Amino acid sequence: MTFTAISSNLGYPRIGEKREWKRALESFWKEEITKEQLIKETDKIRLKNLKKQQELGIDLIPVGDFSFYDHVLDTSAMFGVIPERFSYNGGKVDLETYFAIARGTKDAVASEITKWFNTNYHYIVPELEHAQPILTENRPLAFYKEAKEELGIDGKPVILGPITYLSLAKGYKEEEFDELLDVFVPLYLQILEELESAGATWVQIDEPIFGTKLDDAVIQKAKKVYTQFCEAAPKLKLILQTYFEHVINYESIIEFPVAAIGLDFVHGDSLQLIKQFGFPKDKVLAAGIINGRNVWQENIADKLSIIEEIKSITTIQDIILQPSSSLLHVPVTKKLEVDLNPDIKAGLSFADEKLEDITTLTKGCNDGEHSIATKIKTNQEQLARFNSSALRTNDQVRKELQSLDTSDAKRPLPFNQRIKKQQHELKLPLLPTTTIGSLPQTPVVRKTRTKWRKGEISNEKYEQFIKDNIDKWITIQEELELDVLVHGEFERTDMVEYFGEKLNGFEVTAFGWVQSYGSRCVKPPLIFGDVSFNKAMTVKESVYAQSLTEKPVKGMLTGPVTILNWSFVHDDAPRFTIQNQIALALRKELEALEENGIQIIQVDEPALREGLPLDERKWEDYLEAAVYAFGLATSAVKDSTQIHTHMCYSEFHDIYETIDALDADVISIETSRSHGEMVTTFEENTYEKEIGLGVYDIHSPRIPAKSEIIQNINRALQTIPPKQFWINPDCGLKTRNEEETIGALKIMVEAAADIRKEHLSYQKY
């Protein structure tokens, strides 16, 4: 029996090697370029990405994975699922409407944004209330034709599957799922039929929702849907693509009548599932063999062994070799990292390098291991260089961790006793106002930081520049009459990268950017070994800010869970061990802040929820470890020192107990885009600590009306007592300009004052 391997990719980074995509988008939003110029520039980026994959030797090149903002929003636009407030009148959705949904307008709030499964990528949540789905354009077909006509590539169209799309949407009742699915199926059928007519061979339908637990009824309904797909376009080879975890309903999914099934062999236990339940001999196995979510080079010989094991336990004749997920989650190429420590660089593999590994493995499968002997030798040498680096091991921090026990991760006094001491010290008013931490990172701030990094301005001049900005914004915050101030984080590039630059065991890249949401790109640091504290990281700026005002200034740190989840962590050390090492380092930073007179310290954990494994059976271990690490970082401070934390858009109702167990004195949660839905979590549970539910959306370039903010505050106060409630934006303000920031905060403080008067007047009676 002939065994044939085919190379494939699931998706390529959109942003360009040097974020050309980001700059084009933001130039368009600032009206510096026209829509035609934006389209021309992004066309060029997209075709370059396709050509690169072609040159790397990928057989099945994805088309349709490109986006102007988000692939879930692309799907909504393709099906005309446009919220009523955007006045959509049918037909192809124009870019102005598309961006309005994502970013909001003066008169319409943006759609909700939340995390894409357990990644740091954010998607725009589809709103199906009042929706009348139609096919506004066959987007996959357009991209398929473009690749064929421009580059001669017979591409593999990528489509977000209907089960996942509906599962991620809002605005309908659970019992309406089947009915809605029946509405969308004919639209998918039309897409597939037209792709078949155009000559497409392979089509990738992404269903990552199958990595979660679904009811049997949903699985059976999905099977009928995919039967319809295959019957409508029998010449197409459909790949039912899963990723991020093993398939929970594996036995049922492998019975779907598709040509191929994509499984993740990096995360979860897909190999074990095949051993236990087999794999259909009449289907192609699309094996996600190279990690699509991390940046560390893998052992090619080991991967070949896994492929050989798959061959030995199945009767399949063909295998597709591919990354475990879209490469959207990793940087483009390590070739640009010319200044990186050579030992660390030897262990790296970004998107382009991962595709090289895929083509190498494909050749090894088809022509024998000897045909890639040179590649294997180089791979082994690079791994040996990385693994033997003395930079990777720190015995001292390992000893420190071993000396700790559970009591070191708990504050001595319970909250109801701590809060009395904090109220006595801080003397804050009812419904205190604050911001989340960062303030506008203007072009001047960014350019000055770049000049300093290049050595074009001195350390002294740069430090004075930071002080000048802190001084300016402390004055602005006092004039706005905010109650708790922040220093603004002008010295920080990113809330995780900044700490990666300061802690031992981290390395930062020059061009290691990945998309987070919209044009917002982040540069996750690399955790290559043991993590330890070096010296104070935030004390100088916090103390300077506090010296300028009588009002409390928050110390601002990123928490251990978020630093871990938003970094690229080498997988040869247990993640929870590294997490605790980070927590131990932060513990020392909190002690330093407190020793220098900082009475409020915010330890942000926006990534806590997103890091949950898709398999709920793994939740308990993850959440227990998160609570311990947060406690380890924060429990050494005095009872009178107030600990805050902040969390980003996510579904929190299922981890409510964990949020409570963190034992933060004040938690702020990003909720404005969900239009108060988060409040229901606190209606169903009794929460005794203090909380701020974000009262306006900072991701949207608009200044909210006071009535909107008052409505959001009053909605929360129906459930949360005023004495527990803080008023704040829903996230940091670094991406907003000064005019938007000052205007929105002014209205927020006015709204807080109005409501405060109402409650104080009521209390008199």
Q: How far apart are alpha carbons 370 and 35 in whole angstroms?
A: 52
- Helix/strand/coil for 668: strand
Dihedral of CA atoms 272, 275, 276, 280 in degrees, nearest 10, equals 120
pLDDT tens per residue across span 205-241 = 999 999 999 999 999 999 999 999 999 999 999 999 9
Cα-trace Rg, the chain: 26
User: Half-sphere exposure (CA, 13 Å, Cβ side) for 374?
Assistant: 1
pLDDT tens per residue across span 24-61 = 999 999 999 999 999 999 999 999 999 999 999 999 99
Q: How much is the pLDDT for 764?
A: 38
Q: How much is the pLDDT for 114?
A: 87
Q: How much is the pLDDT for 649?
A: 55
pLDDT tens per residue across span 569-612 = 998 888 999 999 999 999 999 999 999 999 999 999 988 988 88
Close Cβ partners of 76 (under 8 Å, ≥ 6 residues apart):
82, 101, 124, 126
**Residue 278 among known ligand-binding residues:** no
Q: How much is the pLDDT for 102?
A: 96
Geometric angle at alpha carbon 158, from 257 and 260, rounded to 5°: 30
Answer whether residue 723 shows pLDDT above 60.
Answer: yes
**Residue 115 among known ligand-binding residues:** yes
**Residue 566 among known ligand-binding residues:** yes
**Residue 22 among known ligand-binding residues:** yes
Question: Residue holding tokens 């978020």?
Answer: 562
**Residue 648 among known ligand-binding residues:** yes
- Lowest-pLDDT range of 389-403, 456-470, 680-694: 680-694
Known catalytic residue at 71:
no
Question: Could you say which of 246, 644, 699, 759 is catalytic?
Answer: 699
**Residue 610 among known ligand-binding residues:** yes
**Residue 731 among known ligand-binding residues:** yes
pLDDT tens per residue across span 144-171 = 999 999 999 999 999 999 999 999 999 9
pLDDT tens per residue across span 320-372 = 999 999 999 999 999 999 999 999 999 999 999 999 999 999 999 999 999 99
How large a percentage of the chain has pLDDT more than 90?
85
Report the pLDDT averaged over residues 379-386: 96
Q: Where are the domains of the chain?
A: 4-9+55-390, 442-624
Q: How much is the pLDDT for 678?
A: 61
Geometric angle at alpha carbon 735, from 733 and 741, rounded to 5°: 45
Q: How much is the pLDDT for 372?
A: 97
* DSSP states of 132-160: -------HHHHHHHHHHHHH----EEEEE
Geometric angle at alpha carbon 495, from 489 and 499, rounded to 5°: 100
**Residue 436 among known ligand-binding residues:** yes
Mean pLDDT across the chain: 94
Is 687 in contact with 720 (CB distance < 8 Å)? yes
Answer whether residue 2 shows pLDDT above 80.
Answer: no
Close Cβ partners of 167 (under 8 Å, ≥ 6 residues apart):
209
Q: How much is the pLDDT for 674?
A: 56
How large a percentage of the chain has pLDDT more than 70?
97
Dihedral of CA atoms 46, 353, 296, 347 in degrees, nearest 10, equals -140
pLDDT tens per residue across span 187-206 = 999 999 999 999 999 999 99
* DSSP states of 240-277: EE--SS--TTHHHHTTS--SEEEEESSSS-HHHHHHHH
Look up residue 131 and give its two tokens.
Answer: 């929706």
442-624 matches 4-9+55-390 in CATH topology: yes
- In CATH, 442-624 is 3.30.1490.480: no
Close Cβ partners of 569 (under 8 Å, ≥ 6 residues apart):
294, 527, 575, 578
Strand spans (E) along 524-676? 526-532, 554-558, 568-569, 600-604, 642-647, 666-669
**Residue 489 among known ligand-binding residues:** yes
**Residue 438 among known ligand-binding residues:** yes
Report the pLDDT averaged over residues 745-764: 84
Q: How far apart are alpha carbons 166 and 218 in whole angstroms?
A: 11
Q: How far apart are alpha carbons 275 and 686 in whole angstroms?
A: 46
pLDDT tens per residue across span 391-432 = 899 999 999 999 998 889 999 999 999 999 999 999 999 999
Q: How far apart are alpha carbons 39 and 34 in whole angstroms?
A: 9
pLDDT tens per residue across span 272-320 = 999 999 999 999 999 999 999 999 999 999 999 999 999 999 988 899 9
Residue 637 burial by CB count (10 A; 0-12/13-18/19+): exposed, middle or buried?
A: buried
Close Cβ partners of 424 (under 8 Å, ≥ 6 residues apart):
640
- From residue 650, give the alpha-carbon distance in Å to each of 308, 647, 655: 40, 8, 10
Geometric angle at alpha carbon 416, from 410 and 417, rounded to 5°: 75
Predicted confidence band of residue 694 (pLDDT cuts 50, 70, 90) = confident
Q: How much is the pLDDT for 675?
A: 47
Report the pLDDT averaged over residues 602-626: 92
Which amino acid is located at 129 in the chain? E
Fold (topology level) of 4-9+55-390: TIM Barrel (3.20.20)
pLDDT tens per residue across span 55-93 = 999 999 999 999 999 999 999 999 999 999 999 999 999
- Among the listed residues 715, 649, 608, 628, the one whose alpha carbon sits nearest the alpha carbon of residue 516: 649
pLDDT tens per residue across span 660-683 = 999 999 999 887 655 455 666 776
Q: How much is the pLDDT for 653?
A: 73
Q: How much is the pLDDT for 765?
A: 31
- Among the listed residues 321, 349, 324, the one whose alpha carbon sits nearest the alpha carbon of residue 58: 321
Is 507 in contact with 344 (CB distance < 8 Å)? yes
Look up residue 536 and give its two tokens.
Answer: 């104070």
**Residue 293 among known ligand-binding residues:** no
In what side-by-side order are the strands of the sheet with 62-63?
Answer: 4-7, 318-323, 284-290, 260-264, 237-241, 202-206, 156-160, 62-63
**Residue 452 among known ligand-binding residues:** no
